[in-house]
Amino acid sequence: MAKSLLEPPSCACFNIRRAARKVTQIYDKALRPAGLQATQFTLLAMLAAGNDGNGILMGSLAGRLGMDRTTLTRNLAIAERAKWALVRPGKDRRERHVALTAAGRKKLAQARPYWQAAQQGIIEQLSETGLAELLTLTHRLDSS
Amino acid sequence: MAKSLLEPPSCACFNIRRAARKVTQIYDKALRPAGLQATQFTLLAMLAAGNDGNGILMGSLAGRLGMDRTTLTRNLAIAERAKWALVRPGKDRRERHVALTAAGRKKLAQARPYWQAAQQGIIEQLSETGLAELLTLTHRLDSS
DNA sequence: AGCAAGTGCGTGTATTTACACATATCAGAA
DNA sequence: TTCTGATATGTGTAAATACACGCACTTGCT
């Protein structure tokens, strides 16, 4: 009897999903003036970070983002439609090389201060130490 | 230049969402033999925990789950379709009282060992202490 | 009684997510 | 060269998510 009452509060899945919903709303709201949502911001930032001049392969990008390959296909379609990202075939014609456009870089730069504000808000809630702990824990979950 | 390279790794939103994806997959996979997904399991568990005999109001349930009221409407529709939950109007006819059915309690009981296995797997990855830290941090994010 | 404000909830729409399945292409073996 | 398995990716479908908007109902004021 008491057991069923205790499970939801301690469930790792429930708690991390709930926190992810909350945090997503914070970033989405903060990024709103820039016309970006958190997922798209992350996608553009990852593209900017991984740009070796020739673009990034879909599979590699999905791996870096820690999301399913097919999820990236849908998310990237939005970035393509908005002209933030460009996808080109490679010499190996199975491959698709993804790269930021100039508009994408501009949008990312425009969004950066709003991201910074949201990130700062999180730091004020968790403290620098708390955020570092959170990142450590999430990394330990990802790398399994 | 270096700044754009450093942002994604330290972004609270990116990291918690990525971890949530990973953890969700772990629980979904574990719960698969029970025919439940993590979200539905959480919903049923919360209904079981909050059952005062008369059901829980939609808004209250959404608050306890930390999800948008309208998201709960869609998630609950799935539980209703599967006959795990029952929704009845209250004396105040705007209200909707949600309660588990007998089938819902049975399904929850059936799923519990699979949930326990997934939870144990997380504990082995993070340690008891690590999980406790994660719960503390996520609670601090939720309560803002 | 009647009206205005507040409350509880659903719907339309768009995004995010991923599994199951399918397709196209490449690399190496026979 | 031809076939076979591996690789890179897309599509169909369903669930999860939430904002903007709208509707029904209640409450309190006049």
Q: Give the model confidence (pLDDT) of B46-69 as tens digits.
A: 999 987 788 999 999 999 999 999
Residue B24 confidence (pLDDT): 98
Using a pLDDT cut of 70, give the percent of chain A over it: 94
Q: Which of residues 26-85 of A touch strand D (CB under 7 A)?
A: 28-29, 57-60, 69-70, 73
CB contact under 8 A, A135 and B38: no
Q: Which pLDDT value is given to residue A106? A: 97
- Say if A54 falls within a structural domain: yes
> Is residue A3 scored above 80 in pLDDT?
no
Beta-bridge partners for B86: B99
Choose the weakest-confidence range: A48-52, A101-105, B3-7.
Answer: B3-7
User: Per-residue pLDDT tens for A72-85?
Assistant: 999 999 999 999 99
Q: What is the pLDDT of residue A44?
A: 97
pLDDT at B3: 52
Residue B38 lies in a domain: yes
Once rounded to an integer, what is the mean pLDDT over residues A115-140? 97
Predicted confidence (pLDDT) at residue B22 exceeds the cutoff of 50: yes
pLDDT at A133 over 60: yes
How many Å lie between the alpha carbon of A18 and the closest alpha carbon of chain B?
6
pLDDT band for B90, please (50, 70, 90 cuts).
very high
What percent of chain A lies above the pLDDT cut of 90?
88
CATH number at B108 reads 1.10.10.10
Higher pLDDT pick, B4 / B95: B95
Q: Is residue A30 part of a domain?
A: no
Question: What is the distance in angstroms between the Cα of A71 and the nearest Cα belonging to chain B?
Answer: 11
pLDDT of A112 higher than 80: yes
Q: Does A32 map to a domain? A: no
A118 lies in which domain range? Answer: 39-142
Query: How far is it, in rounded angstroms, from Cα A54 to Cα B86?
Result: 55
CA geometry: angle B34, B42, A12, nearest 5 deg: 100
CA distance A34 to A48: 17
A71 CA vs C28 C1’ separation (Å): 32
Structural domain includes residue A90: yes
Q: Is the pLDDT of residue B20 over 90?
A: yes
Q: Which long-range contacts (CB under 8 A, 24 or more apart) does B101-105 make?
A: B104/B44, B104/B47, B104/B79, B105/B48
What are the structure tokens assigned to A113, written together? 């201060």
Answer whether residue B122 is part of any domain.
yes
Domain count, chain B: 1
* Pairwise CB contact (< 8 Å): A20 & B15: no
Residue A20 lies in a domain: no
Cβ–Cβ below 8 Å for B122 and A141? yes
pLDDT of res. B86: 97
Cα B59 from Cα B45, distance rounded (Å): 17
